[in-house]
Structure formats: structure tokens, C-alpha cells
Amino acid sequence: MTQHRILVVDDQRTNIELIAGVFGDDCEVLFALNGERALAIAATENPQVILLDVMMPEMDGYEVCRRLKAERLTRDIPVIFVTALDDGEAETRGLELGAADYVAKPVRPAVVKVRVKNQIELKAAREQLTRLAITDGLTGLSNRRCFDEALAMEYARHIRSGEILSLILLDIDHFKAFNDTYGHVLGDDCLRRVARAIDDVIVRTTDLAARYGGEEFVCILPGTDQAGAVVIAEKIRQGIMDLAIPHRASSAEACVTASFGVSSARCVPGESALNLVAHADERLYAAKAGGRNRVETEPST
């Protein structure tokens, strides 16, 4: 194991030094002498595994584990209890709180090393499965499921903040004709290249670009007003044209283009986030009706 980070939590420095010595240079070992410090380090340093003593003053390991599992930033970090307690009830309580494993004191170096290694590998496998579950297999962008979840979360967040939330919905012009003319292999390649052009523009960590379905893509732009969303949409539109993918079956241009609908709103309690999608969809169809390869926005009020 190299370049992994583990957090050791124990009120006795000698125990921390013992476990740190087990890993040597294999891992970066962080440490905390109490529960409050452990929670702070876990939230900011994102360790791969936490080795947590059960019996500590003020806040015991059970309470630390409960708080770790209650927070979004730390709930997925595997916790291994390190304890001298030797009864089934104590072990059951820890597992019910979300602990991944137990290591008995006195610590046996080979055992603790293998158990930490196992938890790191399991965590990596879970993260890979999560990425696959929310990623479109063809384009590498987020998939529809990820978009739906992100939109609901952002809509709720924007209700609280009062900020404007914007959405861009775009559709490759005459894509069926493209597939009929050039074949599905080149059609898939076109989708991948368009996705990269979108991804090149959607650079803020708060924004999300996703494949909405077929040849449709969608972008969520938190805290962005209509004018800002139009600027981004125009950059994407020009980026797609700059790909210069030939499309002789298109009525818009001799290359692949896209039409865009932009919707921006202050989010209102009791209204559905899907209203934002519906409005963007209306503007998208207005862009198609207006000649395609253009950006349409909500009418000014």
C-alpha cells in the first residue's frame, strides 16, 4: 500500500505510535487524541480508513462513529474499532453504528495491516461502482440518473439560498439523419466528441453536464442567471461547430450543430424542479423552429 491515508484515534500516544509503526512508510498516518479532533480531521483530510479506539474519555468511540456516519463528508469512510473489549455485545453495538471491522488489543501488526488493506480495497471498489452507476457509458458524462438526483438537490438548495438556478438543454441537429447517412459507429463517435466539447466549457466544480438521452444533453448551472447561462450555451454551440464534423444531411450547416434551450429561475417551495426542464425544453423547440444552431431563452417579462 502506498500513498494511502489513515486516521488513528486513541487517547494514548503509545497506542498511536504502535499502530503508526505498523505501517511505516506505506501510509500517511494522521492521529487524534480525542473524538472532537478526530471528527475535524476526518471532515477535512478525507482518510481512506479510520482506526478508532472504543474507550476514550469525554466522547467514546461509539459516539465518534455515530457522528461520522451522520455526516455526508465522512459517512463513507470505513471505521475499524480497535479495542480491548472482548464481548459480543460491544462488537454488535459497533457494527450496528456502521463500523466495518474490529481489531483486538493488543494489536497484532500483520492482522491490522491486512484489515486496513481490505477496507481500502473495498472502499475503492464501492467508489468505482458508484461512478459507473452515475456515468453514461458512451460519452463519459454524467447519466440521466445522476442528473435527476443533482437537479433535485440543487433545486432544494436554491430554495434555501434564493439564488437563480439555470439549465441548458441541447439537442444535436438532425442526428437521426446523421446516423442514416454516416452509420451508427460514426454516430457514436459524434456523440463522444460533442460530449467532450460540452465538458470543455462546463469547468466549474459546482456545474454538471449530463447526457439526457439519445442525442440530448443537459447542463445544470447553480447560481447562474440567464445572461450567464446564455454565454455558456453560446460557448458550447461554437465549440460544437469548431469540431467541424461533416453533416451533409443537415439543413442548418454543412457540419454538426446543436440547438439550445435555456431556462433560469428562482426556485420556489412547492414547485417541481421538472418545471425548469420543461421550460428549457420549450425553448429548445423554439430554437429548432427558428432555424436550429441557435440559443433560445425564456421571453423577457
* All structural domains of the chain: 4-132 (3.40.50.2300), 144-296 (3.30.70.270)
CA–CA distance, 210 with 280 (Å, rounded to integer): 15
CA–CA distance, 280 with 296 (Å, rounded to integer): 9
Instruction: Look at residues 122, 78, 126, 116 and name the one whose alpha carbon lies nearest to residue 100.
Output: 78
Model pLDDT, residue 86: 67
Q: Per-residue confidence at 130, pLDDT binned at 50, 70, 90?
A: confident
CA–CA distance, 155 with 6 (Å, rounded to integer): 35
Model pLDDT, residue 104: 83
Residue burial 201-232, b: 16+ Cβ < 10 Å; e: rest: bbeeeebbbbbbeebbbbbbbbbbebeebbeb
* pLDDT tens-digit map of 41-74: 999 999 999 999 998 988 999 999 999 999 988 9
CA–CA distance, 160 with 267 (Å, rounded to integer): 9
Question: What average pLDDT score do residues 198-221 get?
Answer: 96
Q: Give Cα separations from 241 to 192, 234, 252, 260, 288 (angstroms).
A: 14, 11, 11, 13, 16
Q: Per-residue confidence at 87, pLDDT binned at 50, 70, 90?
A: low
Least confident residue range of 120-124, 173-177, 244-248: 120-124
- Would you call 300 exposed, middle or buried from its count of C-beta atoms within 10 A (0-12, 13-18, 19+)? exposed
Q: Collapsing DSSP states into helix, strand and coil, what is residue 180?
A: helix
Contact 78, 119 (CB under 8 A): yes
More confident residue, 85 or 285: 285
Q: Which residues are the active-site residues?
A: 215
Output the pTM of the full model: 0.68
Question: What average pLDDT score do residues 161-181 get?
Answer: 96
